[in-house]
């Protein structure tokens, strides 16, 4: 039932793209000259091309599958579902509000007739949800230090990936980051070489959990490396870096608040 619900959201995006008449579609997109709360939500389920839709659905499936896999290891899955609903409700208007305030009011980079649509902002929010979920899971399983290492590794991995996939960061950043990470790993190996056998046995015993955390971390790194693109994509559209960053932050905040409220309620 849970998987069917999550899959149904992707099915809804596909059905809307295929069956929604063009006159109605034009009324549901977010227009910077006539912003509204209603179109801020409705624009999130609209896509201008098949490749745009395919990208959103593919990343949604990958991110949500990994997040749900993590949630199944929790004692209670209620925080996961509350966070998912929170992201779906809050992300569209928040991303459009920030976009409108910056692009239109502050920088005047868009015309009144410019429109915005797409589910990528919500997918970004689910990425933020996954990021916090990884930190929470690693901390619960292995302690606070493991949670810090997990989140820090994801940040370093994402920054390194962006130096290759995007013009947001210069390759010189990777030249600085990679040696730092390599030296840190080397120091850790040398200082703990007497514990190799114990580590090996521990890794074998925790293989499934470590693969889950590692897989989730790889998904977040891969997602972030694609979200922050400043070049034109294959269809000639600029990828909305601001909306993606806002969505990712919104997902993180929603998940943190849900976990805090869950902790207080207990």
Q: 0.75 exceeded by the pTM?
A: yes
3-state secondary structure of 200: helix
CA 161 distance to own-chain centroid? 15
3-state secondary structure of 183: helix
3-state secondary structure of 30: strand
CA 118 distance to own-chain centroid? 15
Are 30 and 96 in contact by the 8 Å Cβ rule? The answer is yes
CA-to-CA distance for 139 and 143, rounded, in angstroms?
A: 4
CA-to-CA distance for 244 and 124, rounded, in angstroms?
A: 6
Are 56 and 119 in contact by the 8 Å Cβ rule? The answer is yes
How is residue 67 written in tokens? 């997040």
Torsion of the alpha carbons at 158, 160, 166 and 171, rounded to the nearest 10: 160
Residue 65: CB atoms within 10 Å:
14
3-state secondary structure of 116: strand
How is residue 44 written in tokens? 């999130």
CA-to-CA distance for 247 and 88, rounded, in angstroms?
A: 10
DSSP 238: B
- pLDDT tens over the chain, length 266 residues: 999 999 999 999 999 999 999 999 999 999 999 999 999 999 999 998 899 899 999 999 999 999 999 999 998 899 999 999 999 999 999 999 999 998 889 988 888 888 889 999 999 999 999 999 999 999 999 888 888 888 988 988 888 888 877 766 666 666 776 677 667 666 665 666 566 567 778 788 889 999 999 999 999 999 998 888 765 444 444 457 889 999 999 999 999 999 999 888 87
DSSP 103: I
């Amino acid at each position: 039932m849970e998987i069917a619900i999550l899959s149904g959201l992707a099915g809804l995006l596909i059905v809307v793209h295929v069956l929604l008449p063009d006159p109605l579609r034009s009324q549901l997109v977010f227009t910077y000259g006539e912003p509204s709360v209603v179109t801020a939500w409705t624009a999130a389920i609209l896509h201008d091309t098949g490749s745009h839709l395919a990208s959103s659905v593919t990343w949604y499936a990958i991110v949500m599958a990994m997040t749900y896999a993590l949630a199944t290891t929790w004692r209670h899955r209620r925080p996961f579902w509350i966070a998912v609903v929170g992201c779906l409700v809050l992300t569209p208007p928040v991303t459009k509000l920030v976009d409108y305030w910056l692009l239109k009011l502050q920088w005047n980079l868009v015309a009144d007739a410019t429109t915005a649509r797409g589910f990528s902002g919500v997918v970004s929010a689910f990425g933020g949800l996954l990021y916090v979920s990884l930190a929470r899971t690693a901390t619960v399983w292995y302690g606070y230090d493991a949670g810090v290492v997990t989140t820090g590794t994801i940040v370093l991995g994402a920054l390194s990936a962006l130096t290759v996939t995007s013009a947001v960061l210069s390759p010189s950043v990777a030249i600085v980051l990679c040696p730092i990470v390599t030296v840190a790993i080397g120091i850790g190996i040398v200082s703990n070489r007497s514990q190799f056998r114990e580590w090996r046995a521990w890794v074998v015993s925790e293989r499934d959990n470590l693969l889950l955390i590692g897989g989730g971390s790889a998904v977040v790194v891969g997602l972030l490396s694609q979200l922050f693109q400043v070049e034109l994509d294959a269809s000639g559209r600029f990828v909305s870096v601001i909306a993606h960053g806002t969505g990712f932050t919104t997902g993180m905040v929603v998940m943190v608040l849900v976990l805090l409220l869950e902790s207080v309620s207990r």
